[in-house]
Structure 1
Amino acid sequence: MADFEPAVLVLEDGTRYAGRAYGARGRTLGEAVFATGMTGYQETLTDPSYAGQIVLMTAPHIGNTGTNDVDMESRRIWVAGFIVREPSRVVSNFRATRSLDDDLVDGGIVGISGIDTRAVTRHIRSAGAMRAGIFSGEEFALSDAEQLEAVRAAADMSGRNLSAEVSTPEPYTVQAEGERIGSVAVLDLGVKKSTLDYLAARGFDVHVLPHSVTASDVLALGVDALFYSNGPGDPAASEAHVELLRESLRAGLPYFGICFGNQLLGRALGFSTYKLPFGHRGINQPVLDKATGRVEITSQNHGFAVDAPLEGIIDSPAGLGRVKVSHFSLNDNVVEGLNCLDLKAFSVQYHPEAAAGPHDANYLFDRFRDMVIELHSEKEGAE
């Protein structure tokens, strides 16, 4: 043990956990959250939705399958920090080209290992997600009071708009695969590569747009549909994206949103959003599809949710027709999907594009494709 460098995890409420330095050395600050997936850590690390968050993996052994370029979901690692119980000492997978530790060091991601992640998880579940910091290297020498002061001075996730940090700086296009059925504008609020691949595989030319575009920009493209991606931050701080969506819906553009895109549809329809105590993160979250009665095991990563009645048909407070909640969480009854009855628009709070699985909800991309094809048929019939 003498060969290991010390590190410490400090929570906003003053709780401290001593461990070993992992990844890059130094100081990192962010919101401490936990993810319950046993696999797919590279997808988690490179998911832009985790920007600003120090992610704790509840699975005790992380890193045994290494990392590679194929499983990257974006251009870089986005987590603010990484917490594991026991990092794998060796890489044992034929697809691996490097170790997880290599990626963390190269990405400048400060981490910590060797702490009781069960205890930290139980604490966050009881006290709620909170600001935290990991200190190692020279930063470990700071006094307890100095470390805690740095944590409490960090930005809170509530009220933060992080889309500018994770969105593409320039628009680009992914060409349709196979038979082309139309085009879709994807507002990149932290989009994952798998999302673009699944849309292209359904016959869409995918126009990926920066977060700063306007409704006029989107409608000028002449696309057949609009898609809002996952992303980090507080949906209440993204009013420009809400207004863009309202204008697009009023213009008759079909819409599909996932994760952050579900929250923004909720706000566009006139519902409010709220911060969850500790969020839903992991690849084993049960969701009920109210239309079929089927339980789907889903991948999730969100700390905010839509505040809407689970039962009945609701008139949109923003005057956009009738709406109903299509899915909800079986763990805590959180809204997991919205369906517009007078518009061609729907959304889900979870991740149907989860590359590491599960794939229970992948059919939603087919539903989106069918919705666009149906609209084409209606227009041809009207002519």
Structure 2
Amino acid sequence: MKSFKKIICFAVAAMMILPMAGCGSSNKLLDAIQKTSKVNSYAFNAKVKLSQKGGNQKELANLLSNMNFTLDGKVQQNKDKYVKTDMNIKLNMMGIAVDYGVLSEVNLDKNNEDYKVFMKLPEFLKSQMPAGSKDFDYLYLGKDSMDKIQKELKIKEEQIPEMQTKDMVQKSTKFQQGFYEFVKTYTDENGKKIVVDNGNKDMKVNGKEEKLHMYQIKIDNEGLKKFLKAYLKDEKRQKELTSFLETVDQKTSSKKFDVKKALSDIDKMPKIIGDKGIVLEFGIKNGYVAKEILDINLVSEKSESFSCNVDIDIFDINKDMKIQLPSKKDSKVVDYYDFMKQQMNAQEKLQKQLKAAQ
């Protein structure tokens, strides 16, 4: 069943980037997606709504139906050197609003493998922190922090695998490029009918009305199975997928991905796409993707129906922008390693006080 779960995960990933080749319009769409993935900088905002119906998990269904979140920020990248992100996340769940930010930098230089993540602490979390920690604004996590934690706790390397962020970014990029190459040559009859050219439409991007060339893709269960089987039968793509999965899931590194078993699992794959299907819309402006709308409807064997609606705006493409990360030496920044030590010390002190009181 492990290989089956991997195929399900891959299937969901494939749904997100599945514009089939076979006609001029879909090639234009795919070219725009590839062109957008190679830009030097861009800003974005996204709105996400979740819901669930059916099944026995009423509490979870109620939670998801009352959950939505927005993301906005910017990305700055330099091929083979670094990727920087500055992102704000606003989560609304059961009437509770949480607002926090994340700044990160991944160094892709072969001679300097490193990553830095700064999480801007939300006020509700700061208020619950012990005395002496409430003045911090950022929680820092980097390669150096993970190294210290591993050494402090004397944990064996296999018990806390290193976050191979750079390797993951590189293999993910290679996997995505190979995926696009395969899609361009995929000429299955079902694939030819997936992309619909809806022409020019007035759409809002970052609050402004823009004229975008819209394309729509609809995916059903059978179309997904055909595509996945064709993909896995391609030997070159098998190697790319295996390498990617081994990087994402450390447990698979000692056991090679079983392609034959995966192909067999596809034939047995239950219905995972609901009657509404997976509907994706892409808005193109000046050869770049400026808008993505995803309506995803998934079902389970337990009669649960899960829906996700995502509306993404992409703008300020290739504009001059700088992302400045805080310094980990700043007095307002607490290292994750130090934070964990503080928590452990506070807990030990409390236990001693409770024991003395008895």
TM-score, structure 1 normalization: 0.21
Which structure has more RCO (C-alpha within 8 Å, separation ≥ 6)?
2
Q: Which has the larger radius of gyration?
A: 2
So what's the TM-score if we normalise by structure 2? 0.22
Q: Which has the higher helix share?
A: 2
